[in-house]
Amino acid sequence: MASAVRLRSAVSLLGRFPALAGVDLDVAVGEILLIQGANGAGKTTLLRACAGLASFSAGEAEVLGHDLRQDRKAVRRRIGLLGHATFLYDDLTVSDNLMFSARSAGASAESAADAMARLGLDGRLRDVPTGRLSAGQRRRVAIAAVIARRADLWLLDEPHAGLDAAGRNLLDHLVREAAAGGATVLLASHELDRAAALATRTVVMAGGQVTGGLLATGDVRISDLAAPGGAGPSPRGGAQDGAPARKASNVA
Amino acid sequence: MWRDAALVAGKDLRIEARSRVGVNQVVPFALLVLIVFAFALDSDRNTLVAAGPGLFWVTVLFSGLLAIQRSFVIESDDDARDALRLSGLDGAGIFLGKAGAVAAQLALLEAVLTLGVIVLYGVQLQGPVMLLLTCVAATIGLAAAGTVYGIIAAGLRVRDTLLPLLVLPVLAPVLLAAARACEAALAGTPAEGWPWVRLLFVFATIYVTFGVVAFGPLLEEA
């Protein structure tokens, strides 16, 4: 199957600090990959680097067929990034923000209207400046912006944060739908139960490297993949039955 | 590139129209500066008339700095600058859009200030063609150079105080040339003003070219 993301010994520096210290990773088109790891493991940098916002200084890095070491700008129009920040202009309305996001990515105004409708933003919120919205509502607008861009690669950093239960369910539905439609999703989250149920595969990061991976979702013992230095993620409920974890290489 | 420029300019102008920072803060600030100068020099009305062009462009320069800073403040809130990078918009298009939006605001400001110097200083307009060309060239130069230095300072924590230090020396030739050209136009001696107008167009051309070429890489590093 074709790779949406292919990294080999990929290094990304933040100043002189190697935030990614030799990452090997393959993500197939249509996959939903959960990236787990402790704070500072390199999850956010990995997502930003795949979006072309952080540079790779060594190794190989290919995203959606583009060599990011040669040109990290070419891929950006095909990326939808949901980060810790919402990337919204406070003085613009919900509609204006989504329209700008869609048109800047080369998508149509209809896709912005469609995204608004799907996130339930086409009612009274449509003409409200985003600076006046609650954190959860802003998060919804940010998700709508990803949809409006018609992105081929969704990079979601803690996507459930700030959303209410309905919003989380809606996000999960949209992610599954996007993957079914051929988009690839990389998801970094500390909400293990929900995110692992959504993902088709999980990898664990520690110290700027992918230290291990799990195949499909299900009752797997993620604690078996604890990072060196005790920085591994929390165990999931399914680990208590003693079933062995289904480990797999992070390189498909 | 032009489509991207129109998109960015439309976005910036829409933000300014919604936030009303220009109308509620920049324009009143500019008028206050004119009034302060009027108070300072009012004892000699002739001095005020003679110094009018210089005072006009000093006021445009200071007020323009606010507009330039504002143009990059809106990109720093909520990491919007990352969104601008991620948008995939052409760097030259972003530059032309942001500079165009700043230029549009400056043009509006100059229209208001022109009324101000007529009413407060008693300046009588002459040589409209030269005045218009001076305003066009100076506005483009101010907006282009300001946008280039705005993105250079944008990624720094000290950007608010650094930008005036960077921009004011660079824009000194615009201030000088625009004031001299306007003086010549108002004095009815256009022959003395045309070299200054040409200088303004050369300055504007240099900074527009530089911005088109360099803004993309500067945005990546900001």
Where does the pLDDT of residue A224 fall: very low under 50, low under 70, confident under 90, or very high at 90 and above?
very low
B86 contacts on A by Cβ (under 8 Å): 51-53, 76, 79, 81, 87
Are the Cβ atoms of A104 and B4 closer than 8 angstroms?
yes
Residue B43 pLDDT: 64
Q: State which residue of chain B sits closest to A83, comparing Cα positions.
A: B79
Q: Which residue has the tokens 């993309």?
A: B216
Share of chain B above pLDDT 90, in %: 39
pLDDT digits (tens, 9 = 90+) for A149-172: 888 899 998 888 878 888 888 888
E runs forming strands in chain A: 3-14, 17-28, 32-37, 58-63, 66-67, 79-82, 153-157, 184-188, 201-206, 209-214, 247-248
Average pLDDT of B203-214?
A: 93
Residues of A (100-159) whose Cβ lies below 8 Å from B: 100-101, 103-106, 129
pLDDT digits (tens, 9 = 90+) for B6-63: 989 999 999 988 888 878 888 888 888 888 888 887 666 777 888 888 889 999 998 8
Are the Cβ atoms of B15 and A100 closer than 8 angstroms?
no
Residue B191 tokens read as 């022959």
Residues in chain B: 222
Residue A213 pLDDT: 65
Residue A219 pLDDT: 38
Where does the pLDDT of residue A250 fall: very low under 50, low under 70, confident under 90, or very high at 90 and above?
low
Distance from the Cα of A71 to chain B's closest Cα (Å) equals 12
Taking the alpha carbons at both ends of chain A, their separation in whole angstroms is 9
Are the Cβ atoms of A105 and B14 closer than 8 angstroms?
no
Give the CA count within 13 Å in the CB-facing half-sphere of B198. 6
- Mean of per-residue pLDDT scores for chain A: 78
Q: What is the ipTM of this complex?
A: 0.80
Instruction: Tell me, yes or no, if A9 comes closer than 8 A to chain B by beta carbon.
Output: no
Residue A241 has pLDDT above 50, yes or no: no
pLDDT digits (tens, 9 = 90+) for B74-94: 887 777 778 888 887 888 999
Distance from the Cα of A138 to chain B's closest Cα (Å) equals 11
> Could you tell me if A38 and A224 are in contact, meaning their C-beta atoms sit under 8 angstroms apart?
no
Least confident of A71-75, A225-229, B89-93, B163-167: A225-229
* Other beta carbons less than 10 A from residue B112's beta carbon: 16
Residue B22 pLDDT: 79
DSSP secondary structure of B27-86: HHHHHHHHHHHHHHHTT-HHHHHHHHHHHHHHHHHHHHHHHHHHHHHHHHGGGHHHHHHH
Structural domains in chain A, sorted by start: 3-87+146-163+171-248 (3.40.50.300)
Q: Which amino acid is at A82?
A: L
